[in-house]
Structure 1
Amino acid sequence: MDHAAVLALFDRDMREGARPDGPGARIERVPGVVRQVASEHGWNGVVWSGLDEASADAAIAEQQRYFAGLGREFEWKLYGHDLPEDLGRRLRAAGFTAAPEETLMVAEVADLTLDVEPPDGVRIVPVTDRAGVDLVADVHEKAFGTDSTRMRHQLLAQVTDDPDAVVAVVALAGDEPVSAARMELVPGTRFAGLWGGGTVEGERGRGIYRALVAHRAKVAADRGYRYVQVDATSQSRPVLARLGFEPLTTTTPYVSP
């Protein structure tokens, strides 16, 4: 993989050329910044910036004023190659809080190992309605120990209003939900985004997450996407690397004060 070329393509397709990630959201392009504006239950934030040392502080202050005027908390999604090089420091100085750093990992679907089945006794089922969305949200709360209210609302809206844009699945051990994940598909781009793969404690280490990655990547291939991308934690990165994903850069969410 030509890392620099794929990263540049990712920036063009998924950041500078971003599309709304769900019903009711919109993308706005203002000087130096591309941002998404959504409801209070959607994701609000900066997806791309093209700034320099002279323009960065003013752009940060402008986004803070803008989202404050809407009454929205927001996130500045900073990538390791974004400029200026001290943009993270500037965000912290403006009061933002950095969430844990993750690694942007990308794989060409044709190069992936996809002949992966879930372990014995586990089956993968699609999510198509409110009951399935509730299972996904419940699994995520157990797996990550975080509130899933925003994700629950957003996924339900996607499943209900734009089902072709999302693939959500739950892994069941018998009738017990033990893992869940989703994939977001943006028409006209070459990247399918894998999100939210989480497995409850006690079921980890059995290959369930690996099977969910392979399952979604197969769907992406069938729908004509060339690449799949993941914001990987330190726990998922080794699994993804064994499947054929490669790291391109880091990504850190900076949350508004």
Structure 2
Amino acid sequence: MIPLDDSPAALALRTAYDQQIRTRSGAANGGTIEHLGALIRKTGSEGDGFLQYLGGVDGPELDQLIADQVAYFTKLGAKVEWKYYTHDLPTDLPERLTSAGFTPDEEECLLIGDIAELSAEVVLPAGIRLREITSRDDLERMQAMEEEVWGFSHDWLPDALSRDIANVDEPGVVVVAETEDDDPKLVCGSWIRFHAGTDFASLWGGSTLPEWRGKGIYRALVAYRRNLAAERGYKYLQVDASPDSRGILARLGLRPVSVTVPYIWKP
């Protein structure tokens, strides 16, 4: 794993993220959102939940807060995710979560970049173009590409991206790379969300067909989306990156400032 950046500049970016993004409720989308002091609790329309920890509690008070969430979702009969960041306090928070029955899932790296310091140059290999998409047909083509890359169903993707595109609080733009021919093949898909009322836009996706990797397409999509954010007046780009992409994002100038781990509780 790439080392975390603990420079003053990186810590300032992380603090801005904690203050602006982690405290953000977002849209309920048919569910409920509750502010519980040290937690924001979101419950989806189908019952599953998400817990955003804001900090400031410790000892028995923290243990009770965790136990209350277990009791709440036990009553619902639904699973819940507590999103943990490695800079969260107290340092024994993971142990407290596992003691309460939460299980850690796959970790990701939180990277943040100052848009003014990131390259705006979009360089593509010959025969490839970038295009913003909104139609159902194009979103289903993106679904098929993702399924070819990962080998399992992404049937949720067209509906999810349609909601992103229409979302007023966090509007999204979907950008794909495809071949320039009479029957264009979609080779990479990505999207960006603009978090209204904050300085942040977030990058998502970027899966690329194996035969098109290593040609600069992912880099070009980052630069293209960086330019979309700059045009709208945003200051920072944020990514929760998998092991596959964290290295290239760091080389592009985004700073790795924390590691995130979803702790899952199931009834």
TM over 0.5: yes
Residue 97 (structure 1) shift: 2.6
Superposition TM-score, scaled by structure 1 size: 0.88
Higher gyration radius (CA): 2
Q: Which runs of 5+ in 1 are unaligned?
A: none
Residue 221 (structure 1) shift: 0.5
Give the corresponding residue for 1:210: 219
Give the corresponding residue for 1:48: 53
Q: Which deviates more, 70-79 or 230-239?
A: 70-79
Matches for 1:107-146 after TM superposition, within 5 Å: 107-146=113-152
Residue 190 (structure 1) shift: 0.5
Q: Are residue 80 (structure 1) and residue 89 (structure 2) matched? A: no
Matches for 1:1-257 after TM superposition, within 5 Å: 2-20=9-27, 23-24=29-30, 26-40=32-46, 44-50=49-55, 51-160=57-166, 162=168, 165-174=171-180, 175-257=184-266
Residue 169 (structure 1) shift: 1.4
Measured in 1, the distance between the counterparts of 2:219 and 2:68 equals 42
Measured in 1, the distance between the counterparts of 2:104 and 2:215 equals 32
The residue identity in structure 2 corresponding to 1:49 is L
Q: Tell me if structure 2 keeps the 8 A contact 1:101–1:253.
A: yes
Cα shift readout 1:81-134 (whole Å, capped 9, x = no counterpart): 112212222222333232222111111111101202222111111121222322
Measured in 2, the distance between the counterparts of 1:56 and 1:65 equals 14
Cα distance change on mapping 1:5 and 1:25 into 2, 3 Å: farther
Q: Tell me if structure 2 keeps the 8 A contact 1:106–1:246.
A: yes
Superposition TM-score, scaled by structure 2 size: 0.85
Measured in 2, the distance between the counterparts of 1:165 and 1:123 equals 23
The number of residue pairs the alignment matches comes to: 255
Q: Tell me if structure 2 keeps the 8 A contact 1:23–1:162.
A: no
Q: Which runs of 5+ in 2 are unaligned?
A: 1-7
Q: Tell me if structure 2 keeps the 8 A contact 1:111–1:244.
A: yes
- Superposed CA RMSD: 2.4
Measured in 2, the distance between the counterparts of 1:188 and 1:141 equals 34
Residue 180 (structure 1) shift: 0.7
Measured in 1, the distance between the counterparts of 2:94 and 2:152 equals 24
Residue 48 (structure 1) shift: 2.5
Cα distance change on mapping 1:108 and 1:92 into 2, 3 Å: same
Q: Tell me if structure 1 keeps the 8 A contact 2:136–2:158.
A: no
